Structure 1
Amino acid sequence: MSNKTQRDEKNFNQAALDYHKAEPKGKIEVIPSKPHSSQRDLSLAYSPGVAVPCMEIHHNPETVYDYTGKGNLVAVISNGTAVLGLGDIGAEASKPVMEGKGLLFKIFADINVFDIEIDEKDPDKFIQIVKGIAPTFGGINLEDIKAPEAFYIEQKLKEELDIPLMHDDQHGTAIISAAALINALQIANKNIEEVKMVVNGAGAAAVACTNLYISLGLKRENVLMCDSKGVINHKRENLTPEKIDFVAQTDLETLEDALKGSDVFIGLSKGNVMTPDMLSSMAENPIVFALANPDPEIAYDLAMATRKDVIMATGRSDYPNQVNNVLGFPYIFRGALDVQAKGINEEMKLAAVHAIANLAKEPVPEAVILAYNVQNLQFGREYFIPKPFDNRLITKVSSAVAKAAIDSGIARKTIADFNEYETQLLDRMGRDEKLVRMMQNRAKANPKRITLGNAEEYNVLKAAQILYEEGIAYPILLGDKKYVKEQMERFGINIDVPIIDPSDDDQKENRKKYRETLWKLRQRKGVNEYKAKKFVRQRDYFGPLMLKHGDTDGLIVGFSKNYVSTLRPVLEVIEKEKGVEKVAAMMMILSE
């Protein structure tokens, strides 16, 4: 390890400690959600008023969802036996991770969380504790529990509880990687029923992933699963029940042997176990999901240098195609909670898989591209999984999960209008977004022609792209046509919108019309016909004259000039109303 790498790691480690130590302690907090400023508020919140809903729930237990926060409260529960890549570090040491999971639930899906760390390794005792506290919650997210106990714990709790419950280390990774696999196979032009897959790792995540792939059509006989001792074949003894399900009738014994001619590699093990030679031995267009963190089974750059045709995903955010559980669990629980589902079944998981896979194929909103500071995102080898900050996930995935719960008969309540439900989901994510969305929806209902000056500028082109892609307006680009086209090509902006160049030959008739208008407006104010002819070749005048003649509905100018010089030609063409002495502007600031 170089000195620079050591310094960077030391700085990051200290930053992580400082982040968690800063006041207020912890990453989540409880805040009042009802009025509490008067004595009457307090008497309603607690004694004596609280007795009324208590008795309502006593007489009709289902009304607990009406009178309490249970329906939007998830428990994140762990015993700390398999924390991230840290292993069995104990319940108390797992608390920062569980608080972090709570933070993700809240910011991505507006779900409240209590993190609960249970100091109990006996699976039956652990199950009893969770069952005992379950009435508090609308759902339970099990986290960082080691295999094979994790399988037993989840299965027993699913049998005995009637609320959504999921061990995210198993099913979260399975759902996201399954969505990625669907799309990677499409890019590779391969059929899931025919591919040969090698799974390295045989823990909770590996078993759950493989079982879900089989639900999608993967043939069990086409899977070779490896653990730390090699291929799980018919020669192996003392296997757990989960591993027995994946015993292969083969004499192959090592990962290296298994990979020869294979189509797909799923790594859920440890870093750097796949060599370039192993990758080279795989079939054409190999699919490699190296999901070990922080070090993948084969480094991304090394894999790319070894084979140009590799289709790769990792668990890291600094490389394309991150298999990140946050793409799934907040929205799966959101949909399940909103229909008061009695569990999370296979139909709901598969609905999430297909919703995530399909979203990656849709045009990426400009807001997502800007959030990740990239030029463009298009479905292909470097983008076949949605990005975590894609705000469409909450509507697409939650709606799909809720619908699957209803259709499979596991939901206590139904959703009559899914369009309205999607609006409600977006409203949960904040008042500022709601205000902008209201304005956007009003614009989308009757889109106008909006001319943007300074169209050669990157930010102006990006704004035009957002207006165009989201249907907010019909943008018109005003500028040097040749240069505007060069900039669009340079930045990968491909939108079919008019480009108006005031000096272009195709604007000859407009220039004549605009010249006469400008001369008549300003002939006693210092503008003669010669000046008018000269001014209409300038965008500062051409844009306002388009507006004056109704050739555009709106004009956005001033990106690269000061306010006064931008406004002067506008006011010379678009005159003030009678009796108006001053022109004013309004600025809107969005905050909490």
Structure 2
Amino acid sequence: MSDDLTRDALRYHAEPVPGKLATALTKPCSTQAELSLAYTPGVAAPVRAIAEEPLDAFRYTGRGNLVGVISNGTAVLGLGNTGPLASKPVMEGKAVLFKQFADIDVFDIEVEAEDPDDFVETVARLGPTFGGINLEDIAAPACFDIERRLAERMDIPVFHDDQHGTAVIVAAGLLNALELQGKALADARIVCLGAGAAGIASMNLLLNLGARAENLRLVDRKGVIHAGRDDLNQWKSAFAVETADRTLEDALSGADVFIGVSGPDLLTREMVASMAAGPVVFALSNPDPEIRPEVARAVRDDLILATGRTDYPNQVNNVLGFPFIFRGALDVRASAINVPMTTAAVRALAELAREPVPSEVLTAYGRDDLAFGPDYIIPTPFDPRLGERVPAAVARAAVDSGVARVELPARYQT
């Protein structure tokens, strides 16, 4: 990060008041009568109602539009284990995105608990406060177990965005990229470099969408995850295949797709050159991708490329997913965010990118033209249609899959 950017970022977070969040009142409280309604004695009425019918908490409190963004700070962005206190600016930032893009309120909670048991117990006991839990920046492999255990204990959506949020955007972009390259997901040979939260979740979601396990190669620091390895945890071992491939170079020879969720400059020119005709390269390490787009394009003029950066086309950005997935889940009081809901989000995003781009998007990006093609395979974060299409698709999937507790709102029925 440059000195100028560091200075500007610190000033942004410090002035005019520290931090990026504050609370706001949703009801007037400027008269004696209003005070008596807001607090004692009037507040006793909703207390009694909720005690009799717990779901009335969604009617009389802000629970139904409140998400907890919760971390233990063990895997903060690209900075590693900074601890919970230093993760707070990121959690506040996540809250800003929830509010800005989907009008969802957030309490950010930073938990001093590296031990998964302690973390699970702490978060589970916070359940009555929230309509949903967004887990953030928790190191793998603990994050998988933490999410599973919390989802089993809580009756509200528990969603680890580093897993599923990334996976949704990767999958949406990949479906469109493969279509442009004239390839089918079921036939595509896919190599994923990075076997942490994002990599494993992305591969699982692609399997749910129709990819075939025998065509997938997951690669970690020790090489290809294959059936002969004896050093695999339960999440990696699910992707162990019988193969002669041992290195990233082996796996990429003739591959259709590279997905990188690993580190900078790990994909070489030679590896890109060895891929099949019409390759798809998602170099998502941030801020420095696995290969620079200009380097990859100098090797292949037939590729489609995406990164995690704003200064290149096809940015894989989680903000396209999590605010709108939660919006749809909250609007039907879902008890979970399940696979049908995430796959619905994938398809909604993929379909949206194929439609004409609104003028507001062109203005926001200083473009005269933007259309579905190699440099536009996923919508941009400022597409106003995201707030309509993705929540509606997610909410419908929640109803259809039986996790919704109210009917589909009228605005989603068109």
TM range, smaller chain: over 0.9
Is residue 350–residue 378 contact of structure 2 (8 Å, CA) maintained in 1?
Answer: yes
What amino acid is aligned across from residue 244 of structure 1 in structure 2? S
> Aligned residue for 2:18?
25
Aligned-partner Cα distance in 1 for 2:34–2:365 = 45
Shift of 1:23: 2.3
1:297 aligns with 290
Q: Which runs of structure 2 are paired with 1:468-487 in the superposition (5 Å)?
A: none
- Deviation string 1:289-322 (CA, Å, 9 cap, x unpaired) is 0011011100111111211111011101110000
Deviations 1:226-266 (A, max 9, x none): 11111112332221111111112122211111111000001
- 5+ residue gaps, structure 2, are none
Q: CA deviation at 1:124?
A: 1.1
From 390, 405, 408, the equivalent of 1:415 is 408
1:272 aligns with 2:265: yes
Q: Show CA shifts across 1:471-518 (max 9, x none).
A: xxxxxxxxxxxxxxxxxxxxxxxxxxxxxxxxxxxxxxxxxxxxxxxx
Q: In the alignment, what sits opposite 2:149?
A: 156
Report % sequence identity. 55
Distance 1:339 1:224 in 2: 37
Q: Secondary structure at the match of 2:125?
A: helix
Alignment match of 2:196 (pick from 194, 198, 203): 203
1:184-224, CA deviations, whole angstroms, 9 ceiling, x for partnerless residues?
01000001111111110100110000000011111101111
Q: What's the secondary structure of 1:295's corresponding residue? A: coil
Instruction: Supply the distance in 1 between the matched residues of 2:217 and 2:102 (Cα, whole angstroms).
Output: 37
For 1:181, which of 160, 174, 178 is the aligned residue?
174
Map of 1:384-399 to 2, 5 A cutoff? Answer: 384-399=377-392
CA-CA distance at 1:416 after TM superposition: 5.2
**Tell me, what secondary structure is at the counterpart of 1:25?**
coil
Mapping of residues 119-158 of structure 1, within 5 Å: 119-158=112-151
> What residue number does 2:61 align with?
68
Question: Normalization by structure 2: what TM-score?
Answer: 0.98
Residue type at the aligned position of 1:127: V
SS in 2 for 1:352: helix
Q: Counterpart of 1:427?
A: none
Partner of 2:303: 310
Matched residue, 2:328: 335
Range with bigger deviation, 15-24 or 136-145: 15-24
Taking structure 1 as the reference length, the TM-score comes to 0.69
Structural mapping, 1:221-232, within 5 Å: 221-232=214-225
After TM superposition, where is structure 1 displaced by more than 4 Å over at least 4 residues in a row?
Answer: none
CA distance in 2, matches of 1:327, 1:410: 23
1:375-403 deviation line (CA, Å, top 9, x unaligned): 21100000010000001001000000011
**Is 2:331–2:409's contact at 8 Å kept on the other side of the alignment?**
no
Structure 1 residue 415 displacement after superposition: 2.1
* Structure 2 residue 85 is the aligned partner of structure 1 residue 92: yes
Are 1:40 and 2:37 matched, yes or no? no
Please give the secondary structure, in 2, of the residue aligned with 1:250: coil
Distance in 1 (alpha carbons) for counterparts of 2:343 and 2:227 = 31
User: Is 1:167 matched up with 2:157?
Assistant: no
Check conservation: 2:258, 2:281, Cα contact below 8 A. yes
Pairing partner for 2:395 from 392, 396, 402 = 402
Aligned residue for 2:80, secondary structure, equals: coil
Higher relative contact order (CA 8 A, sep 6+): 2
In structure 1, the gaps of 5 or more residues are 1-7, 423-592
- Tell me which of 346, 355, 363 is aligned to 1:362: 355
For 2:3, the equivalent position in structure 1 comes to 10
CA deviation string 1:55-83 (max 9, x = no partner): 11111111001100000000000000000
Residue 235 in 1 paired to residue 235 in 2?
A: no
Q: Distance in 1 between matches of 2:245 and 2:58?
A: 54
Deviates more, 1:251-260 or 1:403-412: 251-260
Number of the residue aligned with 1:581: none
What is the match of residue 495 of structure 1?
none
CA distance in 1, matches of 2:229, 2:401: 39
* Counterpart-to-counterpart distance in 1, 2:255 and 2:408: 44
Q: Within the alignment, does 1:348 sit opposite 2:312 as a pair?
A: no
Q: How many Å separate the matches in 2 of 1:263 and 1:238?
A: 28
What is the RMSD computed on CA atoms of the aligned residues? Answer: 1.1
Q: Secondary structure of the equivalent of 1:100? A: helix
Output the CA distance in 1 between the equivalents of 2:321 and 2:4. Answer: 31
Query: Is residue 2:209 matched to residue 1:216?
Result: yes
Equivalent residue, structure 2, for 1:551: none
Point out the structure with max Rg over C-alpha.
1
Is 1:379 paired with 2:367?
Answer: no
SS in structure 2 of the partner of residue 114 of structure 1: strand
2:187 equivalent in structure 1: 194
- How many pairs were matched up? 414
